[in-house]
Structure formats: C-alpha cells, structure tokens
Amino acid sequence: MFSSNSDIRRTLGDFHIDGMTLRYSRFVPKLYNWCKSLGFEAGKIVPSRAFCSDESQGFPIILIAKHFGAFPFNHGRVGGIVSTGRHGPHASHGKDMLIIQASHVGYDPHNNNFGHYRRLQTEHNCDSSNCGKISHTLSWYQQLYTFAKKNILLEKQDDRFLIHIDNQILKQDKPEGVFLNLELMAASDNSTSHNSNGKILPLYSRSTAKTYVMSEYLQQRINTEDWKDNSLRAIGDDLGPDLFRFKHEIQDDIEGPNRLEQNLLPAMSWIVTSPEPMLTAALVNTQTEFDRTYRTIVNEPGYQGKNLVFISGLNIDISPEPGQLFPLTKFVPWAAYVQTTDGTYYTVEQKELFEILEQESDQNSDRIDMEAAIRIMEEAQEIQLHLPPALKLNN
C-alpha cells in the first residue's frame, strides 16, 4: 500500500477523526436507511461484520442485529482483519449484502488518551490494552525504538555537532531490527555526504559505537542553540519516522498468516513515533483492509448481481462508566464500496461518506424489538427432535 515516507504521511493525514464521528446508536440506523435508499429490501439484508473478537465489540453487533433484523455473519478475525475467504458463504445467505469492517481502539475520557479500555468483568474493573492484538503486535517494535532513542547520543564538540550510534543499531547485516536512514543523519568528517565508495564515513570508532559528524539535515531538525560543549544527550523523540525503518520476519499466528502485522509494518516507524500509537495503528489497518478487501469483493462470483455495501471505519470504544454495561462506541467512517443489481458500482471517500450518512434519518421503523423477539422464541411450542435409531443413546 505504501511506497514512500511521503505516501504514508499523506495517507495517514487523509483519515480524519475530528468532526467525523457517529455514535453507534445513530450510525447503524443511518446505515440501514442508506442501504434502503440504494434499493436494499427490508428483511432480505444479511449484514456481516469484520470486527475484532473483543467483547467491547458486542454492543455494535447487537445494534446491527436490531436494525437489520438479522444477526450479522462473522467476516472477521482478531484485530479487525477481514476473512476474505468467507465471501462466498456470506453471499449465499441472503438477497442483499452488507459488510462492515472496523479496527477498534479504546478511549479513556478521563485521561483523554487512546489504547486502553475498562474491563467491567475483571475483579477490580481494571484497564487493559484495546485492541490487545494491535498492542501485542506493536510491542516488539516499540522496544526497539526505545532502545534506539536511548542509544543514539548527540554532542556538541567545539563548533561541530556529533552523533554517536550504538553498533547494534548500525549493523546492516542483521536479519531484523531497526535500520537507520544514515544518509539523513550523518555526514563524513570532511563535511561531505559520502566517501568515494558511496558510504558515510565515521569520524572515529569506539568499543561499542561509532561517531559521525551530524548532517545538516538533522541539525536543522534539532534545536542546537543552547547546547553546551562536550555534553551528551540521547536523541530521544528527535528520532523521527523519516530517520529509520524496521525489518521483521513476520510469523504466522494461530489463524494463519499474520495479516495485521503485514498491514502495519510498512507504516511502523510512523506508528511507534505517533503520540497515540494504538490509534494510528488502527487507522492504518482500517485503510489497508478496505483496499485489500475491496479488490476481493469485486472478484467474488457470489456477489455478482447483488446489492452490496462494504463500509470500513474505526470503532472507538469509550470505557463504560458506573451503571453502564456497554461502551459508548463511536464509529468513524473511512470509505465504502457500493454496487447495485443494475451493474452500477463505485467507491465513496470519507468526506462524502460522512455527509451521506449524516443526511440519512437515525429513525428506523423496521427495527426489531429484541426483547419481544426473544420472548416469542421462549414461548414457542417445544420442537421435539426425531433422530434415526443409529444416533440414539443406548438405554
């Protein structure tokens, strides 16, 4: 998906949250009414969700069932990954099709930060990472980034600015790890960028590190006006996303190929340097999953000739307060793909998608009364199962 640092920065910047959020209790009926306006038939729509398996996603699922009149098909894997191999079964279950894909991230309204969620079912209502799959995926990269921030040292020596880099970080033949874009950080000791072999020259070597003259590019990035001579400081947060990249051999997980990590790796330097890594990772995953899944939907024979909406976005799980059983989940739409039975198909980008949903009513006369529906099933006459003799238990 991403081919350069500028592509990543631009793509992330195009996913807006401010002014683009909808409470799920408003989003789902609006989505239903939009589907109806496209020609979807009430009672013939089979919704499907590609959500993480986290219990915090239960409330959106309940609302989908309430407004669409059918429990949503499960299209999802942990982390909000779409199981594209399930398109065929989904397509065979109804006349009109809806797929909702969403990564999710927790939000603490008291601290105004993302990435954690209050678990009411734990003994002490403790907070934990949300999404846990994203948190686990990021941890290896965050540890490497923290090490690099602490072990790249900056120094002013007379009129020169130096950079000392740990040999472990500099090593280029390692199979995985953090790799510096050294050409942006260091110059040779004669103030030229490269030596005759095209390699950047160290000023001198130490037992565990090498010292370079700091590049003009890096000096312009860092405030060096008040630096004292012969004082060292770690580069810290000045190690920005354009100065390094990661390499990692991605292992399969219990569900097969680790699609989440594949989605995040190209943007990982931007994710770990973000003030909200969990939020940024969820945004990247949503964008990547829409692009990947859209291409599989248009080639799925089972969906041909059907009304279909595929919508991607972000679920923000706001931790429940005392007395609340479910999170106050918000949805941030990213994009949608629409096709209708007459052969029309098109994609809708975020701004237009939000405007379409906002224009729809949040009242749905077709919604079902969940309590009444359950009560009918509870009061229905018992159905006795008639088994062939071979399957009956021996007396």
Q: What is the pLDDT of residues 138-196, one digit of tens each?
A: 999 999 999 999 999 999 988 889 999 999 999 999 999 999 999 999 986 544 444 44
Token code pair at residue 275: 């003030």
Whole-model pTM: value is: 0.90
Q: How far apart are CA 33 and CA 370, in angstroms?
A: 19
Nearest of 63, 60, 42, 41 to residue 50 by alpha carbon: 60
**Confidence band for 322, pLDDT divided at 50, 70 and 90:** confident
What does DSSP assign to residue 229? B
What percent of the chain is predicted at pLDDT more than 90? Answer: 69
Tell me the average pLDDT across 65-92.
95
Q: How far apart are CA 264 and CA 177, in angstroms?
A: 15
| Residue 194 confidence (pLDDT) | 45
Q: Which residue has the higher pLDDT, 390 or 103?
A: 103
| Residue 192 confidence (pLDDT) | 45
Tell me the average pLDDT across 368-374.
90
- Over 80: is that where the pLDDT of 284 sits? yes
Find where tokens 């941890």 sit.
139
- Over 80: is that where the pLDDT of 13 sits? no
Mean pLDDT, rounded, of the chain: 90
Please report, as a single letter, which amino acid is at residue 346.
Answer: Y
| Residue 387 confidence (pLDDT) | 86
What does DSSP assign to residue 186? E
How far does the chain reach from its first CA to its final CA, in angstroms?
Answer: 63
The predicted-structure confidence for 202-211, as pLDDT tens digits, reads as follows: 988 989 999 9
In 21-35, which positions are buried (b, 16+ CB within 10 angstroms) versus exposed (e)? bbebebbbbbbbbbb
Task: Name, in order, each residue with C-beta under 8 angstroms of 242's C-beta and a sequence gap of 6 or more.
Answer: 5, 181, 184, 269
